[in-house]
Structures are given as structure tokens and as C-alpha cells.
């Protein structure tokens, strides 16, 4: 076993991107960390009572309130005079973050707690059987956005949660991806070095819910970034300080390896809509390689 | 009251997930490895160890056979093989 704070024997599906990313995050944060975790796959597969995969203190809250519980933990640690020694991470899935936990997250950001919030974005409620969330992409086939003769899947685009977090005026916001492990770990280390509330949203493929082969997890995550569908951005003090630049690939390359988008392959007009989402991201964030960069690449 | 609810750190290692493999397992060829560490970094089961060239291997007690290590190896020095072929 390599030295890690996230141990073998957890019960995630084979090839789970969230289990990859969770280990990268805690190993970057280090042993002096307390985790507060919303309900969701990560909490369920890492803490099968009476066992735990974690090598750090870990508190399971409810589905919606890791940010609130972490706020209490941070206040207690401050009171004990240990604020400088201990990192606090609140973490949750996309449903726990963008939907039911958004209010708790907003409160945590507004009150200025010194906490890193990590959202593991697998783009649906996976633990309960692939229901859509506010972070499910447009046209995705989920159990609550099913495909049929008049439906091409999820009706709405992803909620801009990183921008919502940024609008709170917090010092650090970033998007990251399981497909870029070193970049993810660098962002976690950077976030922890900054005082105040931080938000990192990590794109984590779910072979079960996205219906791709288990050995494609890293590839699928990379393709999301390389098509412009999942821009990797960093904001420092509310201004974009870095982005990963790409030579954009067509979105079909990303869509065609996933069962959740299979229904689109015979619908060029729908693929065009998704290409437009990617093109808008590329323009909005200046993702194309030729364009001038603001600061060193992410 | 809270005593029994506190679990021993890392105790999930009691839960051997190797039997989850259905068909394939990795085989580390140990010929062209450049010690880039990528297989170890991506393994979702934290079950790869190694240091230095041609020294990486996996723990069959925990490997679920996902194939991520083989997919990511830049030297194609990991192959997925039939479970009973070793
Ligand atoms: C208040 C409440 N409503 C519903 C549930 C059931 N529930 C447990 S996990 C979950 C979905 C989690 O989705 P997400 O946050 O995206 O995490 P994932 O499982 O996808 O990693 C739901 C609906 C719950 N535990 N509590
Ligand atoms: S359902 Fe998806 S997120 Fe949940 S454990 Fe399985 S692969 Fe991971
Ligand atoms: S097949 Fe998957 S679980 Fe097994 S060693 Fe390779 S990456 Fe780890
Ligand atoms: S990914 Fe391949 S080259 Fe890199 S350390 Fe693993 S076996 Fe060696
Ligand atoms: Mg989810």
C-alpha cells in the first residue's frame, strides 16, 4: 500500500472517479485535516460501519449541511486556539452542493469561515440511482430526465455554481478534474494556504451513472476538459487568475463513449446545441491555445 | 455514548475487495516502466505500490480490475489479462 489517508477496502464501484479524486484531495491536504461530508456515494462507500477508509477525523453530517457542520467545527477549533494547525474540508456531491446544500454553502461562504469546500461533481444523484441535479448537463439521460419521443434528456444546462461561489467575494474558487490529478492536488494545496472560504469543484466520472467502461474514467474526464465542456478555471480574489488552455476537440468525442449521451448520436441538431455550450465556454473563458494568457497555465 | 461510533482509521482494509474482479486483472510487465507514478496516482483502490523503474505492482486483495492503471500507463507496461491466466 502506498502511504495515503484514503485507504483500500472502500466499496465504490470499480473505476469510480470520485474515489480517485477523494484520495488526491485528502493526500494533498495532509493529516492535520478534519473532513465533514454530506450524504452521498463518497460518504457511503468510504464509511461502511464499523469500518472507515479515512486516516483523518471524518464527520458524516446530513445530505444538506456539511458546510454548516464544518462552520461549527471551525468555530470550535478557533475557540480552542488551534485554528492555525488544522485544515477543515467540507465535501459533498453535486446534488448535495448545487441543490439541497446550496443554502448551507452560501452561509458558510458569507460568514467567512476558514474552510475548503470540495464539490465532487459526477453530474447526478448517483447514490440514489442517477437522478438529475442542478449540475447535470443539458440533454443527459438520467432516471428523472428520461429520453423519449419528445425528450432528449435533461432540459437545462449546468448551474454555474463556481460563479455563484465567486459572487460571495471569497478569496479562491477553482474547477478541477480527476483527469488532471497533479493540477487537482496543486489547487487543493493552494486553497489550503489561503485563509477564508474556498470552493473547488472537481469533475469526477461515474462509470455506473455515465455508463462508460471502467478503464475510461481518466480519459472521459480529460475529454470533458479538452472539448471545452468542463473548463478548468481558477479565480483569485474574484478575478480569473488561470485557466487550462486547450486545442478544442469536437464534443462528439466526449459524448460517444458514454451511454448517458448515446441517444444524441443520431440527432445532429442536439449535438450542435452541446457544441454551442462548449464554444461559448471557449469564448467566455478564453480557453483556446492561441489566445493570450493572463497568468501561468493551470 | 459516542464510543462505539468512532471507527479505527483506515479500518476498511479489513474489507478485501479483490473478489469484486469479474474477468480481468492487471499484469505489470516490468520491462519499459519509467517510474512516472501515474498508475499509482490514478488507482481508485489505493492498491498500487512502487518506487523506481520496473518496480510497480498491485495488491490483488483490493484491486477491482477497473483497468485504469493499464489505460494510463504511457509505456503500455501494464496489461489487463484474464483472471485465471496468471
Ligand atoms: C434530506 C435527504 N433527502 C434525500 C436523501 C437521500 N439521498 C442520499 S444521497 C442522495 C444523492 C446524493 O447525490 P450527490 O450529492 O450528487 O452525491 P453522489 O451520490 O452523486 O456522489 C440522496 C438523494 C437524504 N439522505 N437526505
Ligand atoms: S455510482 Fe458512481 S459515484 Fe457512486 S460509487 Fe459508483 S461509480 Fe462512484
Ligand atoms: S485495475 Fe484498477 S483497481 Fe486494479 S490496480 Fe489497476 S487501477 Fe487499481
Ligand atoms: S504508469 Fe507505467 S511507466 Fe508509469 S510507473 Fe506505472 S507502470 Fe511504470
Ligand atoms: Mg452526484
- Report whether A59 contacts A69 (CB < 8 A): yes
**For B72-83, what is each residue's pLDDT tens digit?**
999 999 999 999
Q: What percent of chain B has pLDDT over 70?
A: 93
B60 part of contact set with chain A, CB < 8 Å:
no
A-B CB pairs within 8 A amount to 111
Q: Quote the distance between the C-alpha of residue A23 and its chain's center.
A: 14
Q: What is the pLDDT of residue A285?
A: 97
Task: Look at residues B13, B60, B27, B66 and name the one whose alpha carbon lies nearest to residue A208.
Answer: B66
Inter-chain residue contact A2 with B49, CB threshold 8 Å: yes
**For A52-83, what is each residue's pLDDT tens digit?**
999 999 999 999 999 999 999 999 999 999 99
Inter-chain residue contact B71 with A11, CB threshold 8 Å: no
Calculate how close chain B gets to A183, using CA atoms only, in Å. Answer: 12
Cα of A156 from ligand 3 centre, angstroms: 35
Residue A295's pLDDT band (cuts 50, 70, 90): low
- Kindly list the residues from chain A whose CB atom is less than 8 angstroms away from the CB atom of residue B14: 9, 51
B74 part of contact set with chain A, CB < 8 Å:
no
Domain B30-80, architecture per CATH:
2-Layer Sandwich (3.30)
In chain B, what are the domain boundaries?
30-80
The three cell numbers of residue A231 are 473548463
Calculate how close chain B gets to A162, using CA atoms only, in Å. Answer: 25
Average pLDDT over residues A263-278: 98
Q: What is the pLDDT of residue B6?
A: 75
- Backbone phi, psi, residue A128, to 5°: -105, 5
Residue B69 three-state SS: helix
Within 8 A by CB and 6+ apart from A290, the residues are none
Q: Which domains does chain A have, with CATH numbers?
A: 17-285 (3.40.50.970)
Please give the Cα distance from A256 to A267 (Å, whole number).
12
**For A9-48, what is each residue's pLDDT tens digit?**
999 999 999 999 999 999 999 999 999 999 999 999 999 9
- Kindly list the residues from chain B whose CB atom is less than 8 angstroms away from the CB atom of residue A50: 4, 7, 11
Average pLDDT over residues B61-81: 98
**For B19-56, what is each residue's pLDDT tens digit?**
999 999 999 999 999 999 999 999 999 999 999 999 99
Please give the Cα distance from A39 to A157 (Å, whole number).
24
B48 lines ligand 3 (CB under 6 A): yes
Work out the mean pLDDT of chain A and round it to a whole number: 96
Please give the Cα distance from A34 to A263 (Å, whole number).
43
B12 part of contact set with chain A, CB < 8 Å:
yes
Mean pLDDT lowest for which of A44-48, A54-58, A186-190, B1-5?
B1-5
Task: Look at residues A191, A117, A201, A116 and name the one whose alpha carbon lies nearest to residue A163.
Answer: A201
Residue A292's pLDDT band (cuts 50, 70, 90): low
Q: What is the pLDDT of residue A3?
A: 85
Predicted TM-score (pTM) of the model is 0.96
pLDDT at A235 over 50: yes
Residue B7's pLDDT band (cuts 50, 70, 90): confident
**Which one of B18, B19, B38, B46 would you mutate to disrupt binding with A, by most A Cβ within 10 Å of its Cβ?**
B46
Please give the Cα distance from B25 to B29 (Å, whole number).
13
Q: What is the pLDDT of residue B85?
A: 73
Q: What is the chain B residue with the closest CA to A2? A: B49
pLDDT at A1 over 70: no
B80 part of contact set with chain A, CB < 8 Å:
yes
Q: What is the pLDDT of residue B4?
A: 61
The protein residue with its alpha carbon nearest to ligand 4, atom 3, reads B33
- Report whether A64 contacts A10 (CB < 8 A): no
**For A100-137, what is each residue's pLDDT tens digit?**
999 999 999 999 999 999 999 999 999 999 999 999 99
Amino acid at each position: 500500500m502506498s502511504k495515503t489517508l484514503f485507504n483500500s477496502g472502500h466499496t465504490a464501484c470499480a473505476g469510480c472517479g470520485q474515489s480517485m479524486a477523494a484520495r488526491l484531495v485528502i493526500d494533498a491536504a495532509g493529516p492535520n485535516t478534519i473532513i465533514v461530508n454530506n450524504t452521498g456515494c463518497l460518504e457511503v462507500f468510504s464509511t461502511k460501519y464499523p469500518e472507515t477508509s479515512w486516516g483523518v477525523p471524518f464527520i458524516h453530517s446530513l445530505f444538506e449541511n456539511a458546510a454548516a457542520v464544518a462552520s461549527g467545527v471551525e468555530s470550535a477549533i478557533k475557540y480552542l486556539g488551534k485554528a492555525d494547525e488544522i485544515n477543515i474540508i467540507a465535501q459533498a456531491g453535486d446534488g448535495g452542493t448545487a441543490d439541497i446544500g446550496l443554502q448551507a454553502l452560501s452561509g458558510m461562504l458569507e460568514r467567512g469561515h476558514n474552510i475548503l469546500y470540495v464539490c465532487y461533481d459526477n453530474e447526478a444523484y448517483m447514490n440514489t440511482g442517477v437522478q438529475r441535479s442542478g449540475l447535470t448537463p443539458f440533454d443527459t439521460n438520467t432516471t428523472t430526465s428520461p429520453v423519449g419521443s419528445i425528450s432528449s434528456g435533461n432540459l437545462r444546462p449546468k448551474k454555474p455554481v463556481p460563479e455563484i461561489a465567486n459572487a460571495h467575494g471569497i478569496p479562491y474558487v477553482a474547477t478541477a478534474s480527476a483527469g488532471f490529478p497533479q493540477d487537482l492536488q496543486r489547487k487543493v494545496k493552494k486553497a489550503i494556504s489561503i485563509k477564508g472560504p474556498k470552493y473547488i469543484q472537481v469533475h469526477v466520472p461515474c462509470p455506473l451513472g455515465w455508463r462508460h467502461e471502467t478503464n475510461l474514467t481518466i480519459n472521459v474526464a480529460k475529454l470533458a476538459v479538452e472539448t471545452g465542456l468542463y473548463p478548468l478555471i481558477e479565480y483569485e480574489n474574484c478575478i480569473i487568475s488561470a485557466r487550462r488552455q486547450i486545442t478544442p476537440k469536437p464534443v462528439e468525442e466526449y459524448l460517444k463513449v458514454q451511454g448517458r449521451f448515446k441517444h444524441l448520436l443520431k440527432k445532429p441538431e442536439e449535438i450542435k446545441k452541446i457544441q454551442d455550450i462548449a464554444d461559448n465556454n471557449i469564448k467566455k473563458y478564453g480557453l483556446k491555445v492561441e489566445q493570450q494568457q493572463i497568468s501561468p497555465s493551470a | 455514548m459516542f464510543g462505539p461510533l468512532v471507527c479505527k482509521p483506515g479500518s476498511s482494509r479489513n474489507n478485501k475487495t479483490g473478489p469484486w474482479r469479474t474477468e480481468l486483472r492487471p499484469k505489470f510487465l516490468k520491462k519499459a516502466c519509467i517510474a512516472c507514478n501515474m498508475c499509482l496516482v490514478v488507482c481508485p483502490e489505493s492498491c498500487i505500490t512502487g518506487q523506481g523503474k520496473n518496480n510497480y505492482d498491485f495488491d490483488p486483495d483490493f484491486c477491482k480490475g477497473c483497468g485504469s492503471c493499464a489505460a494510463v500507463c504511457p509505456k503500455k507496461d501494464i496489461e489487463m489479462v484474464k483472471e485465471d491466466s496468471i
